[in-house]
A = this chain, B = another copy of it.
Amino acid sequence: MFGKIRNLLIGQALKTEELKSEKFNVFWGLPILASDAISSVAYAGEEILYVLIPLLGILSYKYMLFAVGLIVLLLCILVFSYRQTIQNYPDGGGSYIVAKDNLGVAPGLIAAASLSIDYVLTVAVSTSAGTAAIASAVPELLNYKVIITIGLIIFMTIGNLRGLRESSHMFGIPAYIFMAVMFITIITGIVRYYVFGYRPTPVLSIPNVTGDITLFIFIKAFTSGCTALTGIEAVSNGIPNFKEPSQKNAEKVLLLLGVVILIIFGGVSFLTTLYKGVPNSNITVLSQVAAMVYGKGIMYYIVQAMTAIILVMAANTSFAGCPLLLALIAKDGYMPRQFTKRGKRLSFSNGIVLLSIAAIILILLFKGDTHLLVPLYAVGVFISFTLSQTGMFMKWIRSKKGAWRHKAFINGLGAVLAGITAIMQGVTKFKEGAWIVIILVPVLVFMMLSIKKHYNKVAGQLKLPLDEKPKQIDMAVQKNYMILPIDTLNKSFLKALNYARCISDNIIVFHVSVDDGATEKLKKRWDEYNLNIPLVIKKSPYRSLVGPLVKFIESEEFVTTPRDTITVVIPQFVVKKWWLNFLHNQTALFVKSVLLKRRNIAVTTIPYIIEE
C-alpha cells in the first residue's frame, strides 16, 4: 500500500543513466541562481524597520537608508571576492569545499554545519515570508498561516522527491517577471511621489516615539538587513551547470546578480522610506508599500502573487542545494552513508526528507513567524562566508603566484567584513535566537566528527588482510547446532523444523514455559509426534522468552566447540497487509534483536505466509 501511494506521489523509478542536468547560459542562469538572493527584498527591509520603528518612530527611515547603504557596500565587496572563488573552483566552490581545502577539516565542517542550518532556515524563512505575502493580500487566511506554510513545504518535498529539475524556463520566467514588477513599482512609486506630489494615506500609522539611535540599535538594524545577502554564494556552487565557458558565464551572472540586488533592494528600501511602511504581523511592509503606490488594484495583487512565488522558489533552491551538500559530506564520511544514495527518482531522497522535517519543526516551534526566525538566519550564512573567504585568502598567501597580493587583499577584506558582520549578528541577536545557532554549530561539528570516527573504526575492524584466508572447514568434525524455539506445535513450526532437518542432524527444540498448563499440553503433543528430537524445557519466572534461551546456550549443559556453528531458527509470519504485523511476530522480532548481540549466534528466519 505504501508502495502504491509512493508511486502515485513520487512517480516511477528512473534509471541511473537518466541522470543529467541541463546547462544554462547567462540569460537563464541569472534568474535560477538569483531567486534566493532577490527574494530577500520581501523581508530584509522590513526586518530593519522591525528593529528601529518601536524605538525611533519616524526617525527610523533616515537610519534605514544608512543601513541599506552599508549592506549594499558589503554586497559589492562580497561580489568581488566571490568572483575570485569562481575563477579558482571550476567544479563549484561551496564554502565546505573551499574551507576544507585551504583551512582543514574542522573549519570545513564548521562551514558545512553553518550552511546546513542556513539551508533549513532558508526554507523556513522563505515559506513563512511567502505565506505572509499571501495573507497580507487575503486576510481571511491569517489564521491558517502555519498550515499553509507547512503545506508549501510538503508540496516542495514531494516535487523534489519526484526529481524536480531546476528547469530554466519554469524558474526563469517568474523570476524575470518578479524583477520587472519590482522595477516598475520602484519607478512608479518614485515618479508619483516626486513628480505628481502623490501622498497616500498610510496603511498603518507610525508609533509616536522619539527615542534616539544608539550604536547597538544601528548595528542590530544593519545585521537584520543582512539577510538580503543570503544566496549570493549560490553562483559559485553552481558553476558546473553553466554552458562553456562556464567560469566566465558564472562570473557574469554574479556581477549581474549584484546589480539586480543593488537596484531592487536599494530601490524598494528607498520606496519604503518615502511611503513609510510599518512592520506589522498581519500585513507585510512590502504589501503596504505596494498598496500605497498602486491602491488596492490589479497591480497590488500581482506584486503580492509574484512575491509569494519568488519566495517559494527561493525555498526550493535549498531543496536542490542542501541534499547535495549532505551527499558531499556523507561521501567524506562525516554524515550517515544513506545521504549519498539516490532514490527511485535519482534525487537524494534522504536529504530532502531530512531538510523538510527540520524546516517543519522550525515552523511549528516559531509558529511560522518570519520575525522570530530571521535572528537565527543570517549568522550561519555569514559564518560560512567568513570561512570560505578566509580559505581563499590562505590559498593566495600560500601560492604566492601572479597578482596574489591583490587577490589576497580582496578575499581578506571579504573575510574580515563577513567575520565582523557574523560577530555583530551573534552579539546583537544573541537573545533573540542567535544563541541557538551558536550552540548548534559545534554540536553538529562534534556529531560529524564522531560519525567519521565511527566509520573509520568500523573500516579498520572490517579490513581484511590480503593474506588472511577463509578457515578450513572439516565437515566431518564440526557440528551445526540448530535451536528451534517452540510455543505450540503448528504448521509454521513444522516448516522451520523441516528446514533445520535439511541442514543439520543436531537439532534442539527449546520451549520456554510461562504457563504450566500450556507446557503440559505441548509436551503431550510432542511425545505423540515422536520425532526423536529432544524437547528442552526451561521455566521463565520473569516471563522473558529470550532470557532462558541465552542462558541455556551459554550454560555448560550445551557443549560446543569454537568450530561449531549455532543457529536459532525462528518462523516469522508474513502477512499481506502491513498493519496486520501489529497482530503478530512481536516476540520473534525481539528475540532476534537480543540474540544477535551474542558473538556467535546466527538467526535464521523462515517465512510463513498467511493467506488472505
A8 at the interface (CB under 8 A from B): no
Choice from B473, B478, B502 contacting A478 with Cβ under 8 Å: B502
Q: Are A338 and B541 in contact (CB under 8 A)?
A: no
Given contacts A501-B473, A543-B341, contact A601 B592 (CB under 8 A): no
Given contacts A16-B541, A502-B473, A503-B565, contact A596 B572 (CB under 8 A): yes
Alpha-carbon separation in the docked complex, A15 to B547 (Å): 13
Q: Which residue of B lies closest to A610 (CB)?
A: B458
Q: Hey, which chain B residues are within 8 Å of A608, CB to CB? A: 462
Choice from B457, B464, B605 contacting A602 with Cβ under 8 Å: B605
Q: Which residue of B lies closest to A468 (CB)?
A: B494
Chain A 333-345, CB within 8 Å of chain B: the 1/0 string? 0001110011010
A22 at the interface (CB under 8 A from B): no
Q: Hey, which chain B residues are within 8 Å of A464, CB to CB? A: 489-491, 494
A143 at the interface (CB under 8 A from B): no
Q: Are B16 and A543 in contact (CB under 8 A)?
A: yes
Which residue among A455, A463, A473 has the maximum number of chain B CB atoms within 10 Å of its CB? A473
Number of copies: 2
A406 at the interface (CB under 8 A from B): no
Q: Are A607 and B611 in contact (CB under 8 A)?
A: no
A contact face: mostly helix, strand, loop, or mixed: mixed
Question: How far, in Å, is A481 (CB) from chain B's closest CB?
Answer: 11
Q: Are B542 and A15 in contact (CB under 8 A)?
A: yes
A471 at the interface (CB under 8 A from B): yes
Report the contact-size class of chain A (Cβ under 8 Å from the partner): 35 or more
Question: How far, in Å, is A521 (CB) from chain B's closest CB?
Answer: 13
A499 at the interface (CB under 8 A from B): yes
Given contacts A462-B490, A498-B473, A605-B592, contact A597 B582 (CB under 8 A): no
Question: How far, in Å, is A168 (CB) from chain B's closest CB?
Answer: 27
Choice from B454, B470, B491, B492 contacting A497 with Cβ under 8 Å: B470
**458-499 of chain A: CB within 8 A of chain B:** 458, 461-464, 466, 468, 470-471, 473, 475, 478, 480, 489-492, 494, 497-499
Q: Hey, which chain B residues are within 8 Å of A503, CB to CB? A: 480, 503-504, 565
A556 at the interface (CB under 8 A from B): no
A609 at the interface (CB under 8 A from B): yes
A435 at the interface (CB under 8 A from B): no
Choice from B580, B584, B604 contacting A603 with Cβ under 8 Å: B604
Q: Are A573 and B458 in contact (CB under 8 A)?
A: yes
A574 at the interface (CB under 8 A from B): yes
Q: Hey, which chain B residues are within 8 Å of A17, CB to CB? A: 541
Q: Hey, which chain B residues are within 8 Å of A598, CB to CB? A: 607
A20 at the interface (CB under 8 A from B): no
Which residue among A15, A341, A470, A574 has the maximum number of chain B CB atoms within 10 Å of its CB? A470
Question: How far, in Å, is A456 (CB) from chain B's closest CB?
Answer: 12
Q: Are B565 and A502 in contact (CB under 8 A)?
A: yes
Q: Are A541 and B603 in contact (CB under 8 A)?
A: no
Q: Are A602 and B607 in contact (CB under 8 A)?
A: yes
Question: How far, in Å, is A357 (CB) from chain B's closest CB?
Answer: 14
A514 at the interface (CB under 8 A from B): yes
**546-571 of chain A: CB within 8 A of chain B:** 565, 567
Q: Hey, which chain B residues are within 8 Å of A501, CB to CB? A: 470, 473
Alpha-carbon separation in the docked complex, A600 to B608 (Å): 9
Choice from B344, B461, B490, B574 contacting A463 with Cβ under 8 Å: B490
A528 at the interface (CB under 8 A from B): yes
A606 at the interface (CB under 8 A from B): yes
A305 at the interface (CB under 8 A from B): no
Q: Are B603 and A599 in contact (CB under 8 A)?
A: no
A147 at the interface (CB under 8 A from B): no
Q: Hey, which chain B residues are within 8 Å of A462, CB to CB? A: 490-492, 608
A586 at the interface (CB under 8 A from B): yes
A195 at the interface (CB under 8 A from B): no
Q: Hey, which chain B residues are within 8 Å of A567, CB to CB? A: 604
A531 at the interface (CB under 8 A from B): yes
A583 at the interface (CB under 8 A from B): yes
Q: Are A454 and B580 in contact (CB under 8 A)?
A: yes
Contacts A13-B542, A337-B583, A458-B573 known; list 12 others, CB within 8 Å: A15-B542, A16-B543, A461-B491, A461-B610, A462-B608, A464-B490, A470-B498, A471-B498, A473-B498, A499-B565, A599-B607, A600-B607
What is the interface of chain A, defined by CB distance below 8 A to chain B?
13-17, 336-338, 341-342, 344, 451, 454-455, 457-458, 461-464, 466, 468, 470-471, 473, 475, 478, 480, 489-492, 494, 497-499, 501-504, 514, 528, 531, 541-544, 565, 567, 572-574, 580, 582-584, 586, 592, 596-611
Instruction: Give the 5 A-B CB pairs with smallest separation, nearest first.
Output: A462-B490, A604-B604, A596-B607, A15-B541, A13-B542
Instruction: List 6 interface pairs A-B (beta carbons < 8 Å), by A numbering.
Output: A14-B542, A342-B543, A462-B491, A464-B489, A502-B565, A599-B607
